Amino acid sequence: MILCCGEALIDMIPEPAVSAKSSFTPYSGGAIFNTAIALGRLSVSTAMLTGLSEDFFGEQLSSDLQAAGVDTHYIIKSDRPTTLAFVQLQDGQASYLFYDENSAGRMITSADLPKLDNNIKTLYFGGISLSCEPGANAYAELLATEGETRFVMLDPNIRPSFIRDENRYRYRINQMISQADLVKVSDEDLHWILNGDASLEQKARQLLTMGPQLVVVTKGSEGAVGFLPGDMTVAVAAKVTDVVDTVGAGDTFNAGMLASLDSMRLLDKVAFSQVSAPQVEQALEFGASVAAVTVSRAGANPPWRHELA
């Protein structure tokens, strides 16, 4: 089972209104939530660990996870509010205004973390949950204590506006990179993590020296590139589709990669240490196929397994 560890929130999406310039409709979202939903819809055994409010937004998030087949056993409930993200869309690109202070997701601590059952074989971390303390510290501790024997994927999905203490954040994210088996970053993330004029490939290979077995760099409409030890490189093109918006594209790409690796029985530290370039290409291709469906329709609405050819 894959345990997705991180934020679940409400995206307030603008929609036309009769009596106002626009109105906002609440949709379930959050980077880690989106990946969990996509994995569930792809029929991969998945659970989610997050902090959820007992308010009606929290109930909405929990119900949506369950509807996708995601196990909610590890959710930490509280009476704190749900994180809200107001979305502005322009030419299919999303920008966000977050309300996250004192939220149910952000305020979880190490003391709140449940004991993980042995059926949890893979841990997935990322998103704004790694920026906002104290929750960020709780997830880092979970990785440190539980990640040694489990496969670990990390997608920092860096949002600089969320980072209050850059030095502390850089230390935490570098530690998590060193403990991960698979790190996925956007090209923008990579250039933020590693400053300087080195090329994208040089920086990706520098990340490899920190500990991961595979570093995947996504480049939007230019596709994705996987970097393996021994100077092996795998590149796949983005799938051609009519883009409605890009909300959740990277999150569902991650789900596709994980689902493909799971089908190849590679979500295991020993097995993944021998991963081949053709296996990486297969995983990236499937991730691109899943993401292509998501961007072809409004909102983070990943496909079900039966919708894929």
User: What is d(CA 74, CA 57) in angstroms, rounded to the nearest whole number?
Assistant: 18
Using a cut of 0.85, tell me whether the model's pTM lies above it: yes
Segments forming the whole domain that contains residue 47 = 2-307
User: What is d(CA 217, CA 284) in angstroms, rounded to the nearest whole number?
Assistant: 10
Q: What is the mean pLDDT of residues 183-199?
A: 95
pLDDT confidence of residue 20: 60
Structure tokens belonging to residue 155: 């997608």
Structural domains in the chain (count):
1
273-282, pLDDT tens digit by residue?
999 999 999 9
4-44, pLDDT tens digit by residue?
999 999 988 887 766 666 788 899 999 999 999 999 999 99
DSSP states along 53-108: ESSHHHHHHHHHHHHTT-B-TT-EEESSPPPEEEEEEETTEEEEEEE-TT-TTTT-
CATH number (domain holding residue 101): 3.40.1190.20
